[in-house]
Chain A
Amino acid sequence: MSSKDAKRFFNSGAKKGEIHELKQELKTPDKSKKKDVVKKVIAAMTVGHDVAPLFPDVVNCMQTDDMELKKLVYLYLINYAKTQPDLTLMAVNTFVKDSLDPSPLIRALAVRTMGCIRVDKITEYLCDPLARCLKDSDPYVRKTSAVCVAKLYDISPELVEERGFLENLKDMISDANPMVVANSVAALSEIHSMSGKPVFDLNSQTIFKLLAALNECTEWGQVFILDSLVDYNPKDSKDAESVIERIIPRLQHANCAVVLSALKVILKFLRYVSDNDFKGPMMKKLAAPLITLLNTEPQVQYVALRNINIIIQRHKEVLSSNIKVFFCKYNDPIYVKMEKLEALIKLANEDNIDQLLLEFKEYSTEIDVDFVRKSVRAIGRCAVSIAESAQKCINVLLDLIETRVNYVVQEAVIVIKDIFRKYPNKYESIISTLCENLDTLDEPEAKASMVWIIGEYADRIDNADELLETFLETFPEETSPVQLQLLTATVKLFLKKPTEKPQQMIQLVLSNATQETDNPDLRDRAYIYWRLLSTDPEAAKDVILSEKPIIADDTSALEPEMLDELMNNIGTLASVYQKLPDTFVARVRPMVQSASSFNPEADVVENGAAGDVIAEQSAPVDVPDLLGGLDGLNVSAPAPAGDAPAPSGGAPDLMGDLLSLDVGGGAPAPAPAQAAPAQPAGGFDPFGLDSLSAPVSSMPVQQTELPVILAADKGKGLEIRGKLERSGGQIVYNLSFRNTTAGVLDGLMIQFNKNSFGLLPGGALQVPALQPGSSGAAKLPINVNVQGANPAPARSALQVAIKCSQLGVLYLSDTISLGAVLTEEGRLQYPNFQQMWQAAPPANSQTQVFQVAGASQDAVVAKLESGGLFCVGKQMNAAHFSGKLVLGALALVEVAMQPGSPAVQVTCKSQRVDLLPLLMEFVGKTML
């Protein structure tokens, strides 16, 4: 077909009449004409026209010795076989015949194509040719067949196992041809991870073969082999060293994927190396190849930089003397610039900060707004993380504010707030400069930051009241973060300068925040302040002006377990996204849907009800009742909007609802949880609030107990607290959710990543829709599937994904406390214990000494028993414990102590060596 013909088809496509025309043309006996017609068909197919009606006619052309025509027909078959499964059978004979052709090209083509036709009927016929071709004399056919096994496994794992193809693949690891080895490795690795079965056993023998093939095979084959090596755990330090030495030459390869995969294996294996004389020089060798990756095509640079930003979180030293290579070039694409900037921030230290600040300042004058903003933030992040540089950073920020470029100023204000938080009472002299720029601020975050600064330093800014007043004029129009900051700042101002003007301002703010808003967060906080101020201004000072926790720059820091996982995923998409593979790879997994065994606890219902109440009562109509009641406290309440009727019977209910809402909703910082239990002083109790004290004081307990596992700012506004606990022979995940967004959140679902203890959600997550500002709790029963547990070494990390209809999927990392996974069946008979204790080899034992002040044996026994271990025997100076983990592994513990000495020697033994560190940590924590 001439290119003109092709164009005609690309542009017009096959119309109905043309299908008919093509059908006629395909009947031509002329071979070369036939080929042209098939080309036309493929052209039409490519642009998305349906040429399926031509199926029988095209398949008829399959029997040909013209290689090109054959390939075209095969291409057609791959695309349309699914739509015509019965007719596809017509092709089987030709396939089988081709798989016996004298030309290896044709044999390989037949096997390759058959594997791509995902029709059951075809698949059955594929097995015999495949079995033959796996043992073909030509390596080209064998390498193609190896991949075909993976194709078949994707369609029918049963057939692969039945026919023993896995065994064939394993044998092919020893093939003389390196490409056959590489493709077999690729196929086995994929089957291994798809099936979750240990089909690919990496032992020192296979490793030896893989390393031999590594030097010989194509660049792509090298990538397959290196990627599979990362799953091998070296036996000892020497083993690790010898593998590293074999891999290190790969760092000189021109293919960036070979380099990154080699780096991945080397970095993993270096962790097993104990010899520092080997480690040190080896680490130094890694810098140059990493840097060279920055001189590649921008897309490759992007992948490299995302990986470098992971690697330097663990091995900052590798690149910290090479910051210049990360300086942005003028023509770098923006995605490269952003990553380089991130690397620069991570590599910043006392020695290079001067140079870096010059660069950041340069970047702050560029054209791309996002890049400029990130550059300004970079200065702030350096100031927070490197104390010695704070003054220099402030100076640069002041220079930038001078430019008066709107978004630069706003960004500078935001980071200066962080610097004030980190170094209180050091740099406040610059406040006046900031105040000059008040009117340029129009973004919520910048405004909120400025308001925070004014409130925090109200006593030092002479005209703080005037400044705040200008903001207060527009209070109702502000976004909620600004409103919250304005509220807090005004209260701070009042507490610091309790004069007439602030008093008026506070009344205005409180009335606005309680009556004019439908934002429950704001209203709650206003009520809490109001109560605090009206009952005990001194307590209010303690709460509101209390010292704030120190902040640190962890903007992009990864959790250690997450980092471990990502280090093993260098070069892959997981490293680019900096997410675990399971969180973005769709995989069919059995979902446990049955919730019958699980009764939602009462508090869930209660919280849900409270949430509903908020929705119904968010209109301010009921508030006057409450205000009327509070009238006469030392802060005079603003005039109620409506009439102020006498307290009615309904008021206490409302108060009750509001209180439970306070507690459930938890006012955001800076009002900590202590704010809630503050009781009216002086016996002023118009609504019998005392009677309500019980729910008030009991509920915060739950809240303070559950640790935050996903902060609201990381969870797109959804705060999640939670803890794994054991109760009644079951593992239960106690969870509480708080919605700080402005909309309703619902449809919460939960999923766990594969973990070391095989924990799975044992039911659906039962949380009612969360109204803005409200909370909900859930007790999620946990099932244990030991087969589904991650292999050793055991880790305590539990990666959790929470899905919510509005926010999408959120990821968080929690810790599995050993207390939750110790079963009730862990009590051993003492003789059994002694027998096992003595039989345990030294490798399965670990000893550590803890300092426990005032330790007594009885106290330790009581603590460990409540933690889930069983005391099986006591001697003068030692107590013995046993426990059984859900995995089935036993834990044996001896606690030895001398009376009067704080030193407690703990020895742990288990058949699972990898559990020992976790066990030791657990015993240590539980005793304290």
Chain B
Amino acid sequence: MATSAIFILDLKGKVIIYRDYRGDVPISYADRFMEKVAELEDAGKASPIIQDEGVTYLYLQHSNLYLLAVTKSNVNAASTVYFLHKLVEVFTKYFEQLEEESVRDNFVTVYELLDEMMDFGYPQFTEANILQEFIKTEAQKMDVVERKAPMAVTNAVSWRSEGIKYKKNEVFLDVVESVNLLVNANGSVVRSEIMGALKMRTYLTGMPECKLGLNDRVLLESQGKSGKGKAVDLEDMKFHQCVRLARFESDRTISFVPPDGAFDLMTYRISSQVKPLIWIECTVNNSSRSRVEYLVKAKSQFKARSAASNVEISIPVASDATAPVVRASQGSAEYAPEREALVWKIKNFPGGKEFLLRAKFSLPSIEGDSSVEGGRKQPIQVNFEIPYFTVSGIQVRYLKVIEKSGYQALPWVRYITQSGEYEIRMN
């Protein structure tokens, strides 16, 4: 039912941390794990959950570390894997960087945290900001603080402590939308979806009650307000545990007592097709055996009052291409052999514009080994950001903060759209 032990290993498999919860998987299993991982990776069959002689290893890699949970029972795999990700989150909050160095430097804190976050292999508590109130690192312990019992740990509101005070009460809300797009070589859109996230930073006194209003179509229609302005179909919303889910289910009100500081309030997904924000057309001309020519057209398909920034278009190029001659009508383009790609960067790309790029390469006159052909066909990948803009049209209608002391809190809302997995396949 539960995890037997948690390991933190370096990439060579050396144990840095070993917290045994059940006494049935000894430390020596770290070696077996490494052997098994190496074996599976060689065979190209690696997966994040592996089994060997009755022991299951669930793991992930983070910077130069493996975080590994072992068990001999039928654990809840989703819970265990997610717990490992939570470990990363908590340790990162504690040590800024989670890497071999920081774990070694803070190993006492790591053990303390593992003791509090899991008991007998059951995940217990993973709210970093509450843990920080009673488990501190060497550096944070500058002034000796009286250690109180962690009230919040067992409270219904387990993510916020009482008695928080701010002179100025502020809430920052970022609405971030990532666009995932997949276009086939023939130019047809295979998949397009928007992944949205509402990221919050709260600096609020006491135990504030917050209520968030969005232009959610279901909510507006139920209130008979569908006529006013644009409403958005939010397909699947996922909430931070502070949001009252039962309340949302009954009347779609997003109400919560927020944690202190930064957290992701909610995510949502919209899969209705949107016009690709930046459209790329690429023609490759293999006129002769030793020359290849690329003509790339990039077009911004959003309103002229917005502008995309930090646009980076990466166009795959044969690995044996040499002597590039590149000309771009905007921005700068460079051949990056290590990525086998031509990287075109445009700092500012206003809406409704079109830019061109021409590139010529030399190819070796001897054709490569034909057995490797049919190999990797990288897609064109595009990165960009469009500030003050959301593709979906989502809007924060209001964010109410009510606290018994009656202060006024200032909400600051920002919108931004960025590229997610934005891929255009090539012929």
Contact = CB atoms under 8 A, between A and B. Distances in A.
A300 B23 contact: no
B73 A585 contact: yes
Interface stretch (B203-211, B237-245, B294-302): B237-245
Interface string B175-195: 000001010100000110101
A362 B77 CA distance: 32
Contacts of A220: 79, 83, 122-126
B15 interface: yes
A389 interface: no
Interface string B289-310: 0000000000000000000000
A75 B110 CA distance: 12
Contacts of B425: 362
Given A299-B60, A324-B191, A46 B126 contact: no
B108 A10 contact: no
A257 interface: yes
Contacts of B359: none
Contacts of A180: 154
B42 to A, nearest CB: 13
Interface string A574-616: 1111000100111000000000000000000000000000000
A46 B76 contact: no
B224 interface: no
Interface stretch (A139-147, A518-526, A624-632, A745-753): A139-147
Nearest to A586: B54
B374 A365 contact: yes
Contacts of B241: 218-219, 253-255
A252 B85 contact: no
A369 B376 CA distance: 11
Contact of B120 (A82, A150, A288): A150
B154 A330 contact: no
A597 B23 CA distance: 40
Contacts of A300: 78, 81-82, 85
A403 to B, nearest CB: 5
Interface in B413-427: 421, 423, 425
Interface in B343-388: 371, 373-379, 381
B344 to A, nearest CB: 18
B248 A573 contact: no
A623 interface: no
A190 interface: yes
Contacts of B119: 112, 144, 147
Interface stretch (B145-153, B161-169, B402-410): B145-153
Contact of A288 (B14, B122, B236): B236
Interface stretch (A64-72, A686-694, A695-703, A823-831): A64-72
A572 B75 contact: yes
Given A218-B125, A573-B56, A252 B248 contact: yes
Nearest to A295: B195
A252 B77 contact: no
Contacts of B374: 365, 403, 405, 408
A577 B51 contact: yes
Given A140-B153, A151-B120, A585-B73, A291 B269 contact: yes
A384 to B, nearest CB: 25
Interface string B1-44: 11000000000001111101111000100000000000000001
A151 B20 CA distance: 13
A288 B76 contact: no
Nearest to A364: B374
Contacts of A7: 104
Interface residues of A, number: 112
A140 B105 CA distance: 29
A138 B153 CA distance: 11
B74 to A, nearest CB: 4
B236 to A, nearest CB: 4
B112 A71 contact: yes
Given A3-B105, A143-B154, A220-B123, A330 B378 contact: yes
A147 B111 CA distance: 19
A289 B245 CA distance: 14
Interface residues of B, number: 96
A7 B190 CA distance: 52
B235 interface: yes
Contacts of B327: none
B76 A302 contact: no
Contacts of A575: 77
Nearest to B156: A216
Interface in A247-303: 248-250, 252-257, 259-261, 288-289, 291-292, 295, 297-300, 302-303
A105 B104 contact: no
B108 A39 contact: yes
Nearest to B371: A406
B115 interface: yes
Interface in A70-116: 71-72, 75, 78-79, 82, 103-105, 112, 115-116
Interface in A309-363: 324-325, 327, 329-331, 334-335, 358-359, 362
B267 to A, nearest CB: 7
A796 interface: no
A178 B156 contact: yes
B142 interface: no
A584 B51 contact: yes
A569 B74 CA distance: 9
A308 B327 CA distance: 48
Interface in A1-48: 3, 6-7, 10, 39, 42-43, 46-48
19 contacts: A3-B104, A47-B15, A48-B15, A148-B120, A183-B124, A190-B1, A215-B244, A219-B126, A220-B122, A249-B245, A254-B264, A256-B82, A257-B82, A297-B60, A329-B421, A330-B423, A358-B184, A370-B45, A573-B74
Interface of B: 1-2, 14-18, 20-23, 27, 44-49, 51, 54, 56, 58, 60, 71-79, 81-85, 104-105, 107-108, 111-112, 115, 119-120, 122-126, 134, 147, 149-150, 153-154, 156, 158, 180, 182, 184, 190-191, 193, 195, 235-241, 243-246, 248-249, 264, 266-267, 269, 271, 371, 373-379, 381, 421, 423, 425
Interface of A: 3, 6-7, 10, 39, 42-43, 46-48, 67-68, 71-72, 75, 78-79, 82, 103-105, 112, 115-116, 118, 138-140, 143-144, 147-148, 150-151, 154, 177-180, 183, 186, 189-190, 193, 215-220, 223-224, 227, 246, 248-250, 252-257, 259-261, 288-289, 291-292, 295, 297-300, 302-304, 307, 324-325, 327, 329-331, 334-335, 358-359, 362, 365-370, 403, 405-406, 408, 569, 571-577, 581, 584-586
Given A150-B120, A369-B44, A584-B51, 18 more contacts: A42-B111, A46-B15, A47-B16, A72-B111, A103-B149, A216-B156, A220-B79, A223-B79, A252-B236, A254-B240, A255-B82, A256-B82, A257-B78, A291-B269, A329-B180, A571-B79, A572-B74, A584-B56
